[in-house]
Amino acid sequence: MPVTSKFVALKNYIPTGLPKETDFEIKTKEISLDTKNNILVLNLWISVDPYMRARMTERKNYKPPFNIGEEMEGYALGIVKESKDKNFKEGDIVFSNFGMRDYFVCNSNDLKKIEPMNIPLQTYLGPLGMTGHTAYIGLFKHGELKPGQTILVSSAGGSVGSTVCQIAKNMGCKVIASTGSDEKVKWLKDDLKIDHAFNYKKIENLVLHLKEICPEGFDLYFDNVGGDFLESAIYKMKNFGRIVICGRISQMNATNPGSGLKNMAHVLVKRLTIKGFIIFDHENDREQFETDMAKWLLEDKIKFKETVYEGIENTPKSFIDLLEGKNIGKMLVKI
Ligand SMILES: NC(=O)c1ccc[n+]([C@@H]2O[C@H](COP(=O)([O-])OP(=O)(O)OC[C@H]3O[C@@H](n4cnc5c(N)ncnc54)[C@H](OP(=O)(O)O)[C@@H]3O)[C@@H](O)[C@H]2O)c1
């Protein structure tokens, strides 16, 4: 003690457009235990998530903007290196919101102890973590998915999307998956046994394509992307269908507000339900999810793929690459 902590900081807000590596900096500072912060943790895995993009602008959102020049936050898994708290000891594995850095000091209220199961530790940032929880709550609580229904999933080769596809498939649903590369299409079809997967970047007319591959239409659309894709999906919903608005990644870096949905008449005529949700509102609603997901993972009913960048210095690049679709499954940084 003291220890040098290396962290990622935002250099400036990014109101529109794709972030650049020069919008971030890697900084260091000396940290040490004190009476308030009496546990030292070294992160092992850092979660990289699209919602962080919203915190890089000054606009009002469900989480405040990151502070310029200070540590960015995010979910992480780490190992306790030193503790003066009787409930934590050296070697404990902990979950926190102190991502985007290697070392940090905190107190016991900031940490959740992880009792590792027979699955890779980083699963707690993927299917057993926030993205798995999002898939589960989105499908069951907001989507009200029923066995045998037909579901369309966008960004299906990513962390939330691939979990949604697999849960729905395991329920006996017909799953149609959209994703942005042939490699992701292959994974969805060959390994996850999804009924139909396509590369949206190769489709000229999405409405016609959806009609061709699924003439009966969709009971549920799990929307991770928003924009034109959402508008196309609305055309192909069944009467009384449901659309869960989980994300809007196609709009996150937009340089203009776009034209908005032009087919709200279909929402009325088909009596559709469109429901947005934020997973941070469901923190107290995890028990059933954790029980079910742990069981599915141990039974190999949910498979997990990850894209891993090494070292804190590569965190800005991992985030930009996530927004550009270079990940398959969960984007992670390994420290
Ligand atoms: N509501 C909530 O509480 C909540 C919680 C977690 C996540 N989310 C949202 O859920 C979505 C998925 O999150 P995730 O963590 O699982 O990320 P992810 O899907 O693993 O990664 C993001 C993916 O978005 C896709 N993408 C990027 N630009 C796109 C565009 N212009 N059009 C279509 N797709 C584009 C890329 O895949 P392609 O190769 O397919 O383009 C990229 O791999 C995001 O929208 C995120 O904001 C919401």
- Residues listed for the chain: 335
Tell me which residues have their CB closer than 6 angstroms to ligand 1. 49-51, 131, 134, 155, 157-161, 179-181, 184, 224-225, 246-247, 249-250, 277-279, 322-323, 325, 327
For residues 131 and 45, give the distance between their C-alpha atoms in angstroms, rounded to a whole number. Answer: 15
pLDDT averaged per 10 residues, the chain (length 335): 95 97 98 97 98 95 95 98 98 98 98 92 97 98 98 98 98 98 98 98 98 98 98 98 98 89 97 98 95 97 98 98 98 98
pLDDT of residue 328: 98
pLDDT of residue 258: 82
pLDDT of residue 60: 86
pLDDT of residue 333: 98
Query: Within the chain, what is the greatest distance between any pair of CA atoms?
Result: 66
Radius of gyration (C-alpha) of the chain in whole angstroms: 21
Q: Where are the domains of the chain?
A: 3-122+305-334, 130-280
pLDDT of residue 114: 95
CA geometry: angle at 45 spanning 191 and 17, to 5°? 80
How close is the Cα of 268 to the center of ligand 1, in Å? Answer: 28
| CATH number given to 130-280 | 3.40.50.720
Specify whether the CB–CB gap between 180 and 201 falls below 8 A.
yes
Do strands 218-223 and 237-245 pair parallel, antiparallel, or not at all (unpaired)?
parallel
Do strands 39-47 and 103-106 pair parallel, antiparallel, or not at all (unpaired)?
antiparallel
| CATH number given to 3-122+305-334 | 3.90.180.10
How close is the Cα of 208 to the center of ligand 1, in Å? Answer: 23
Do strands 112-113 and 76-83 pair parallel, antiparallel, or not at all (unpaired)?
unpaired
How close is the Cα of 30 to the center of ligand 1, in Å? Answer: 35
